[in-house]
Each structure stands twice: as C-alpha cells, then as structure tokens.
Amino acid sequence: MFDNYRAVKKMINRDDGFLCGDAKVLSKKTDHIFLAGREKLHLVLDFDRTLTRGKDETGRDVTTWHVLQRHLPDAAKAEYWRLYGKYRPLEARNMITVPDAVAWWSGVLNIYRDNKLKWPDVAKDLMVAMPPRNGVKELFDVCAAKKIPIVIISAGIKNSIELWCQNLGINPEAVLSTNLLFDSQGIFCGWEKKSLIHALNKKEMGQASLSEISGKRPNSILVSDSIHDAGMVGNGIGSLRIIVDDARSDDFSRGDDFFTGIFKKFDLIVRTGDLLPVVKIMEKF
C-alpha cells in the first residue's frame, strides 16, 4: 500500500498530466485520503463537458440540454436560445441567483413540454452528439474493480445521462439530476419537481439520496470541468478537487490570473484534456 501511496505522490508532484495548486494543502489531502483507504472513498463526477467532450463537430458547446433542443421546431429553438442568452452570462459571472436558475431551468423544460419533445428522437441522437471524453470507461472500470462508488451530480438531464451510461457500459452508483417524465408514446409531459438540479443546488451536501454513501465513505474526489462546481463536495481535508482544463468560450478570461483563480477552489488541473491522469491515481488505491 505504501509503495502505491508514494507512487501517487510522485506522479502528482512531477505534474504527470496535472498542474498542481497549493503543494502543502495537496499533500495533506492526498495523505489523508490515500491512507484512509478506498473503503472510505467515493468519486463525485460532473457529467456535461466532464464525462463528455465539450464541443461538437462545429466547435459549439454541447450539453444534455443542447441535444434536446436540436429536436425542437425553429420557433422553440429561438426561445431556448433567448433564455440561454439572458441567464448564461449571469451564470458565467457567478451572478446568478436561485430564482434566476429556477426560472431558466423551468423555462426550458416548459419549452420541451409545450412542443411535445419525443424521447425516441433524442435517444437516437445522444451518443453521436455527446461522445465520451477519453478515459471515461477506464475510470469507471478501475473504480468498479476496486469497489469505489461513483456518483454523478449534474445540472443536466438524468434520462440522457442514464441512457448514455448504459450505452457505454458503465454503472454509476447514483445519478442526481433532473428527471423527465414521458407518456406511453415517449412524448415529454413534465418532470419530477423535486429532482430539479440547477447551477446553485448542484451539490452532494444535503441530498438525502446520497447520505448513505457519503456517511460510510466520507472522503471524496471531485472531477469537474467548471470552476463553479467546486461546491459540489464539502470543504476540508477529505475532499480532493480536480478540474479538467476545457473551459467554455463564455466562462472566464484566460488571462494571467486564470490558473490563480482556479487554484483558489481546485487542487489539481488535468492539462491533457482527458481523464487518464485521474485513472492513474485511482489505479493506486
């Protein structure tokens, strides 16, 4: 075990696929998490742009929401993008409020419902529109072999995430995301109101469905693509935060203070654009 532990420390310290933040904090966290063992550990993963590639073939940002809107009539698409243009700048600048987030998410869901979105059409398009980021299958496989549970928390669409995982042959322990409801013909007719996950309630803490996992396994490794996702796990020595460097075009400036801003909230940056450096860490548990 200690040989594996030293290998992890060496891997991180030599920047093997990572950029590192505060070395002392990082060392304390890796000491605590690794020495506690895999029996006390779980992974918390974002979905859109973390497990999936961030852009489509045209270079546009892609999320589970974007895939669904492709199947709307033109007038409904225009309304979708009007809401995006109103609320996304607030989210990108960290100025969005809970009422804003609820209005945005609910507004889009109403568009889907009013236009009788057909699930079979979306399902057919899903894997083509959202190919996995390199290393996803390997990450799930190594965690399954070591019995380390993976939780996906996403402000996207639960139905899309679960089908995507099924198609890829991976099995998260839990998926926390907005659950859509369809009638017997596969036409969208509403959503589970209590399941609504948006930008500001996208976190593990306070979620009853995840309490057993986090209670038995208090240490966590978070992997995400956005600086705004740092709050998905709790603060403290038992939470290691890793971000994939694949910023959205409207997220934040890539000026001189870009990495400084990230390292205020995250411990490691994956600089390779894939999840293989994370896989290498998990292999050592």
Looking at residue 69, its pLDDT comes to 93
Pairing of strands 41-45, 150-157: parallel
CA 127 to CA 55: how far, in whole Å?
Answer: 13
CA 171 to CA 240: how far, in whole Å?
Answer: 22
Kindly report which listed range (87-91, 237-241, 250-254) carries the lowest average pLDDT score.
250-254
> Quick one: CA torsion of 44, 282, 236, 232, rounded to 10 degrees?
-10
> Quick one: CA torsion of 108, 203, 157, 133, rounded to 10 degrees?
120
Kindly report which listed range (18-22, 169-173, 191-195, 235-239) carries the lowest average pLDDT score.
18-22
**pLDDT tens sequence across 73-96:** 999 999 999 999 999 999 888 899
Looking at residue 12, its pLDDT comes to 61
Please compute the mean of the pLDDT values over residues 2-7 and round it to a whole number: 55
Looking at residue 227, its pLDDT comes to 85
Instruction: Compute and round to an integer the Cα radius of gyration of the chain.
Output: 19
Domain 2-54+129-282 has CATH 3.40.50.720: no
**pLDDT tens sequence across 107-118:** 999 999 999 999
Looking at residue 79, its pLDDT comes to 97
Angle between helices 74-92 and 98-114 (to 10 degrees): 170
The SS3 of residue 191 is: strand
The SS3 of residue 250 is: coil
Structure confidence at residue 252 as a pLDDT band (50, 70, 90): low
Kindly report which listed range (44-48, 109-113, 214-218) carries the lowest average pLDDT score.
214-218
Kindly report which listed range (15-29, 74-88, 244-258) carries the lowest average pLDDT score.
244-258
Side-chain-facing half-sphere of 101: CA atoms under 13 Å: 16
Kindly report which listed range (65-79, 195-209, 227-241) carries the lowest average pLDDT score.
195-209
Stated pTM of the model: 0.91
Structure confidence at residue 209 as a pLDDT band (50, 70, 90): confident
Looking at residue 49, its pLDDT comes to 92
